[in-house]
Structure 1
């Protein structure tokens, strides 16, 4: 018998044994009340024509090769995270315009990392973390970059993998980040919401068909400790972000 079924059988037999032994508890199964009837989803406006354009979303999420970085033996633990980030920012500006003041200032600050340690006041690159996000048995590299002055509250988060012996950016996003967590092979990003006492929570998961991390879950949840202010959102390089809201829409 399956282990779970044995446990269930023991749970049913035990009250009967106690009753036979003169225990005051009558035992037996008890009803939990009426069960709601399951209902199929109701489709609204079934005759709507098919849309001709894609809906607004995070944008195009794709992997991007990062050339010119030495990765000894293909082990990302042996690669210099600062070199990876500097090369990526230089070669893959993504949605940033190279003339954009924030982009230019962030690149300038990255140059300061040559004389400072990762995570100190001079270097905007935070401590690197490693986790197998793709499921290939090899650790991938996850880095955070504090954006330049005026956008210092925003954090640029990027992940890199070795794909066919090529260093590849598999995730990039930027937001007013409250916190970042790793859960299994998923990256969970908590960000400021313009709605008081709420925050955004986005789960990024590996998609083998796309060959990149995708925002598979994006929700707004109650968070009494969230800052009571509206965030400043900025499109990020090389990947997705939510559409930048107007001040009137509260996000």
Structure 2
């Protein structure tokens, strides 16, 4: 026969149970947060732009004017089959433009006389290797029509460079949709943009210009520009030098 517990003994058992539960709770709390996200605190309230001097009459934006070269068909080349610019010889392309615009020093077709002479000699017997200023072409769909355009670079003296882009229309005519001459640091293709990096004129900074296709103007325009700081070049340690 089981003896009923006294009130004191019952209180002692209850106290032991509470102490055991108190020891387990921190462990459970810790396990529940394992691998979870910790709060970073309250999020600051977003502050929208504030229009300063709203009563002031602003300047009028003039109508859009192409900032690049107007589109121009290249004369003197046979039509391209299937709008395939891969079949076009980039040297023949630039030579055709030279014939159409001889002795032009400025503008989209401007070219130093020595560069023009070297381009005319491209492919001739006796020309030194690497003497042709027309660089290897690159291909990318820049107009969004599902067909590649061809990007051609022409080296000028003093690190200057002419960057040109050509497309073929449905009739097979080659159309130049971009032409710019800059002192170029580098040229990149990003998506449907041609990115030019050039010195900005401020020491330690460079200008990045993104040329994009404008369907209304039917040409590529400098759509975005950004001045960025050039990362500092780490100094070369003299340790270990002979």
With normalisation by structure 2, the TM-score equals 0.69
Aligned-pair CA distance for 1:105 = 2.6
Q: Whole-Å Cα distance in 1 between the matches of residues 103 and 222 of structure 2?
A: 18
1:115 aligns to what SS in structure 2? Answer: coil
1:114 aligns to what SS in structure 2? Answer: coil
Q: Whole-Å Cα distance in 1 between the matches of residues 160 and 169 of structure 2?
A: 29
With normalisation by structure 1, the TM-score equals 0.67
User: Could you list the per-position Cα deviations for residues 145-178 of structure 1 after superposition, in whole angstroms to 9, with x for gaps in the alignment?
Assistant: 011xxx3310100000012322100111111111
Partner residue of 1:198? 205
Partner residue of 1:91? 100
Q: Whole-Å Cα distance in 2 between the matches of residues 160 and 119 of structure 1?
A: 28
User: Could you list the per-position Cα deviations for residues 94-131 of structure 1 after superposition, in whole angstroms to 9, with x for gaps in the alignment?
Assistant: 98449x99533322121121327999432100111111
Partner residue of 2:170? 164
Residue 207 (structure 1) aligned with residue 214 (structure 2): yes
Q: Flag structure 2 segments of 5+ consecutive residues without an equivalent.
A: 1-26, 234-242
Contact 1:116-1:123 at 8 Å conserved across structures = no
Alpha-carbon RMSD: 3.6
Contact 1:117-1:123 at 8 Å conserved across structures = no
Partner residue of 1:232? none
2:122 aligns to what SS in structure 1? Answer: helix
Change (3 A) 1:22 1:43: closer
Q: Whole-Å Cα distance in 2 between the matches of residues 189 and 23 of structure 1?
A: 54
Moved more, 103-112 or 169-178: 103-112
Change (3 A) 1:195 1:58: farther
2:178 aligns to what SS in structure 1? Answer: strand
Partner residue of 1:103? 112
Residue 112 (structure 1) aligned with residue 118 (structure 2): no
Contact 2:66-2:217 at 8 Å conserved across structures = no
Pick aligned residue for 1:121 from 130, 133, 142 = 130
Contact 1:116-1:122 at 8 Å conserved across structures = no
Q: Whole-Å Cα distance in 2 between the matches of residues 67 and 101 of structure 1?
A: 17
Aligned-pair CA distance for 1:71 = 4.3
Work out which of the two has the higher radius of gyration on C-alpha atoms and give 1 or 2: 2
Residue 144 (structure 1) aligned with residue 153 (structure 2): yes
Contact 1:206-1:213 at 8 Å conserved across structures = yes
Contact 1:118-1:126 at 8 Å conserved across structures = no
Pick aligned residue for 1:154 from 136, 156, 160 = 160
Q: Flag structure 1 segments of 5+ consecutive residues without an equivalent.
A: 1-18, 227-251
Q: Whole-Å Cα distance in 1 between the matches of residues 127 and 148 of structure 2?
A: 20
Q: Whole-Å Cα distance in 2 between the matches of residues 117 and 154 of structure 1?
A: 26
Partner residue of 2:187? 180
Moved more, 124-133 or 81-90: 81-90
1:159 aligns to what SS in structure 2? Answer: strand
